[in-house]
Amino acid sequence: MNPFTFTQARDLDGVLAALNAGEARPIAGGTNLLDLMKEGVMRPAQLVDINGLDLDRIDASEDGGLLLGALARNADTAYHPLVRERYPLLSSAILAGASPQLRNMASNGGNLMQRTRCVYFYDIGTPCNKREPGTGCPARDGVNRQHAILGTSETCIATHPSDMCVALRALDATVHVQSSSGKREIPFADFHRLPEDRPEIDNTLQPGELITHIGVPQADRFIDHSAYIKVRDRLSYAFALVSVAAALDLEGGAIKAARIALGGVAHKPWRVEAAEQTLVGEAPGEAAFMRAADAILQGARGYGHNDFKLALAKNAIVQALTTAARGTAAAGGQQAHRGDRA
Amino acid sequence: MELHQQYPVRLRINGQDREFNVESWVTLLDLLRERAGMTGTKKGCDQGQCGACTVLVDGKRINSCLTLAVMQDGKEVTTVEGLAQGEDLHPLQQAFIECDAFQCGYCTPGQLCSAVGLMNEGQARSRDDVRELMSGNICRCGAYPQIADAVVHVMDLRKNASGDKPAFTTGAVLA
């Protein structure tokens, strides 16, 4: 690791002042940041440890939703009684990510800020537009089995690695941020961005802003019919090739509302609201699910090694919707997850 | 020079209070191995991918390679050296012996600490859960079935000791 100075934050104002000064980077769990620093991909001159801030609670909000503290750990969030009861989709998405050790450390805010695991991004011996703008993208014609099929650009075909964020996108979460000039809420859809010609910028967080909470609106109508399906190269503890967060609101044998978000296919969690609309009023079934999948995957293209993701994504969407229609597994979490591979 | 500043770190390691002065970039893993003399914790991938460096911090299992020592100031750390009570092995250590769950030994300290953390967390209800919740510990020797046997065995023992019926059977063949 490159040398850096370290300070422990005592209060939010102190952190925001340090972030304003420009050099400092906040650290919470550190599970991705320290890894990137060891590899020389990121070289912050100053770290501010924000773990002392009072941002680790998970509270019910007045409108029936939840407010997840940015410093609550992924494991504590996934196993929290309110999350398990009201948001089984979020619980199982979190538990599909990383390992128990990492989930015990990784914070919710940090999960949103984690960076792509593109091998070229990680290898400082290769060019990468995301790491060093203007140097090129070897992934386009290189080893791109893990890479994006949607929303790519000439400059970058990296994917966002999070599972949690896929569920948060499906659930219409908001990201609460604060800077010394005030607070604002960013809809989840607008938080992560597509690479376009600035792939080095992962999200719309502005300099000096810190994530304080994640707001999840009430989603009771989806409790009984949701599923997180993650397809990966091994049974557990691997990033998604394709993942799908699906939720259905069923009434009288017809779909009243649907949510479908994909992971592993784009620079951000991918969701197409118009595709969900095609399911409204339909009876749940393979034909309707295939049509919705086609609508979501419109414009998808492969880059060689990842061509298989087009068919895989379609099948995963149909499987996730079929599983959701059958009913959320009672136990939630990893049980729900495993129920689908049995 | 400011960048090579030393930071005071107080830790309670395996029941003993210890004090260190470390540079900002020293990981908890490197502090344990290089400064605290606790070489039971192994440095495998050093990237959070293998689990060999797993220790318990305030009872929770974490990858000690992916946290800075300064960030753990004031915490209680348990390494594999802290699992036994004197000459009495931790029940999991005993079960690892009985189930032949030891292989080359490089992954074992992390496996043991991870298994203790798994039991502290209380989320495993079945052998499948144990396998899933031990997935952060990679063993290239392929000792997974025996490791799962050992963990499941100890969990059953605890349930029996508290008078509850085991929620599942072990499949472990124990003498």
Instruction: Report the first-to-last Cα separation within chain A, whole angstroms.
Output: 43
Average pLDDT over residues A294-315: 98
How high is the mean pLDDT of chain A? 95
A233-244 pLDDT tens trace: 999 999 999 999
The first and second tokens of residue B47, run together, are 């990237």
Mutate to test the interface with A, among B132, B144, B168 (most CBs of A within 10 A): B132
Residue A54 CB neighbours (<10 A): 10
Check pLDDT > 80 for residue A140: yes
A253-279 pLDDT tens trace: 999 999 999 999 999 999 999 999 999
- The pLDDT value recorded for residue B140 is 86
- Mean pLDDT check: name the lowest of A11-20, A166-175, A321-330, B163-172: B163-172
Give the rounded percent of residues in chain B with a pLDDT score beyond 70.
Answer: 87
Asked if residues A50 and A9 have their Cβ atoms less than 8 Å apart, the reply is yes
How high is the mean pLDDT of chain B? 90
Tracing tokens 């992934």 back to the chain, one arrives at A139
d(CA A41, CA A120): 10
d(CA B85, CA B15): 11
Strand order, beta sheet including A182-187? A58-60, A66-69, A210-216, A174-179, A182-187
DSSP state of B33: I
Asked if residues A261 and A219 have their Cβ atoms less than 8 Å apart, the reply is no
- The pLDDT value recorded for residue B142 is 86
Q: Is B42 exposed, middle or buried (0-12, 13-18, 19+ CB in 10 A)?
A: buried
Average pLDDT over residues B155-173: 52
A12-53 pLDDT tens trace: 999 999 999 888 999 999 999 999 999 999 999 999 999 999
The first and second tokens of residue A7, run together, are 């300070």
Check pLDDT > 50 for residue A340: no
Confidence of residue A284 (pLDDT cuts 50, 70, 90): very high
Average pLDDT over residues B21-27: 97
Check pLDDT > 50 for residue A336: no
3-state secondary structure string across A229-263: EEECCCCCCCCCCEEEEEEEEEECCEEEEEEEEEE
Cβ-defined contact of A101 to B48 (cutoff 8 Å): yes
Average pLDDT over residues A102-130: 98
Average pLDDT over residues B43-57: 97
Check pLDDT > 50 for residue A333: no
| A74 closest CA partner among A48, A100, A51, A52 | A100
> What chain A residue is nearest to B71 in terms of C-alpha separation?
A49
Judging by DSSP bridges, how do beta strands A210-216 and A66-69 pair with one another?
Answer: antiparallel
Cβ-defined contact of B61 to A1 (cutoff 8 Å): no
In this structure, the dihedral spanned by the alpha carbons of residues A88, A89, A90 and A91, taken in order and rounded to 10 degrees, is: 40
Number of residues in chain B = 175
Asked if residues A293 and A257 have their Cβ atoms less than 8 Å apart, the reply is no
Check pLDDT > 60 for residue A334: no
Asked if residues A322 and A249 have their Cβ atoms less than 8 Å apart, the reply is no
Mutate to test the interface with B, among A35, A84, A99, A119 (most CBs of B within 10 A): A99
Cβ-defined contact of A99 to B135 (cutoff 8 Å): yes
A64-96 pLDDT tens trace: 999 999 999 999 999 999 999 999 999 999 999
B51-87 pLDDT tens trace: 999 999 999 999 999 999 999 999 999 999 999 999 9
The first and second tokens of residue A127, run together, are 């060019």
- The pLDDT value recorded for residue A22 is 81
The first and second tokens of residue A154, run together, are 């000439």
- The pLDDT value recorded for residue B161 is 57
Give the rounded percent of residues in chain A with a pLDDT score beyond 90.
Answer: 94
Name chain A contacts of B135, Cβ cutoff 8 Å. 99-100, 235-237
Average pLDDT over residues A293-304: 98
> What chain B residue is nearest to A332 in terms of C-alpha separation?
B123
- The pLDDT value recorded for residue B102 is 84
B120-134 pLDDT tens trace: 999 999 999 999 999
Instruction: Report the first-to-last Cα separation within chain B, whole angstroms.
Output: 61
Check pLDDT > 70 for residue B154: yes
Average pLDDT over residues A188-210: 98
Average pLDDT over residues B139-162: 84
Tracing tokens 């305030």 back to the chain, one arrives at B58
- Whether residue A122 lies within 8 A of chain B, CB to CB, comes out as no
Check pLDDT > 70 for residue A212: yes
Average pLDDT over residues A113-126: 98
- The pLDDT value recorded for residue B167 is 41
Cβ-defined contact of B132 to A338 (cutoff 8 Å): yes
DSSP state of A68: E
Judging by DSSP bridges, how do beta strands A210-216 and A226-231 pair with one another?
Answer: unpaired
d(CA B161, CA B18): 35
